[in-house]
Amino acid sequence: MAGRRVALKSVDWLAFAERVPPNQRSMFNALKTRSDAIAAKLNSLPEAPAAIDWSVYRSTVAKAGMVDEFEKKFKALVIPEPTDTQTSAINAQQAESNKSASVYIEGSKARIAQYEQELDKFKNMIPFDQMTIEDLNDTFPETKLDKVKYPYWPHKPIADL
């Protein structure tokens, strides 16, 4: 019974091991060893607990009715299984992470397109050793000096230097 429940929630250790950084490999190995030990212990347990022979206890226990009371309480005993309260929170966090990752990927693709345009501009421009000042100012407008607004050297505001 326990083995079947555990088998449904098994861990893909190979995929997990690929994501473990080298400095945390020892902790990962300890976790895997502990998990394997627990799984082996669970697999060694029988599917159903051993049946209690109440007639043997009735014949050996001197107080009458005590075994019947224990048997009734034992059969009425229900051990609750823990409920999963974290999966929904984890799934919500995963969805949020996927959403933020897709936003980041889209932003990265936009930046890549912009950088490729800049790279094409650099590949197609005149080599620097053949450029004139006018060519430089046309290619890179931020280098153009405003001699009308700032007539004195450096022809830029001091804060921009």
In three-state secondary structure terms, 81 is coil
Question: Is the CB of residue 137 less than 8 Å from the CB of residue 146?
Answer: no
The predicted model gives 48-65 an average pLDDT of 86
Helices (H), 52-158: 54-60, 66-76, 87-124, 133-139
Instruction: Output the six-digit token pair for 106.
Output: 């889209």
Counting residues of the chain whose pLDDT is more than 70, the rounded percentage is 94
Say which range, 1-10, 91-100, 114-123, has the weakest mean pLDDT. Answer: 1-10
Instruction: Output the six-digit token pair for 101.
Output: 């990752």
Instruction: Output the six-digit token pair for 73.
Output: 């309480």
Number of domain units in the chain: 3
Peptide bond into 154 cis (omega under 30): yes
- Output 154 or 125, whichever has higher pLDDT: 125
Position 143 confidence tier, pLDDT thresholds 50, 70, 90: confident
Mean pLDDT of the chain: 88
Residue 31 clears pLDDT 80, i.e. is over it: yes
DSSP strands (E only) in 25-138: none
Q: Are residues 38 and 10 in the same domain?
A: yes
Q: Are residues 43 and 13 in the same domain?
A: yes
Position 147 confidence tier, pLDDT thresholds 50, 70, 90: confident
Q: Are residues 98 and 142 in the same domain?
A: no
Structural domain contains residue 17: yes
Q: Are residues 15 and 37 in the same domain?
A: yes
Structural domain contains residue 59: no
- Cβ neighbors of 145 (< 8 A, separation 6 or more) are 154, 155, 156
Q: Of the ranges 48-62, 68-82, 100-114, which is most confident?
A: 100-114
Q: Are residues 4 and 47 in the same domain?
A: yes
The length of the chain, given as a count of residues: 161
Q: Does the pTM exceed 0.75?
A: no
Closest-CA residue to 133 (of 152, 149, 155) = 155
Question: Is the CB of residue 52 less than 8 Å from the CB of residue 74?
Answer: yes
Which residue's entry shows tokens 């929904």? Answer: 88
Structural domain contains residue 62: no
Residue 105 clears pLDDT 90, i.e. is over it: yes
The predicted model gives 129-156 an average pLDDT of 85
Structural domain contains residue 82: no
Full domain range(s) for residue 106: 87-124
Task: State residue 1's pLDDT score.
Answer: 47
Q: Are residues 93 and 117 in the same domain?
A: yes
Q: Are residues 116 and 160 in the same domain?
A: no
Structural domain contains residue 142: yes
Q: Are residues 149 and 105 in the same domain?
A: no
Q: Are residues 145 and 108 in the same domain?
A: no
Q: How far apart are CA 127 and CA 118, in angstroms?
A: 15
DSSP state of 161: -
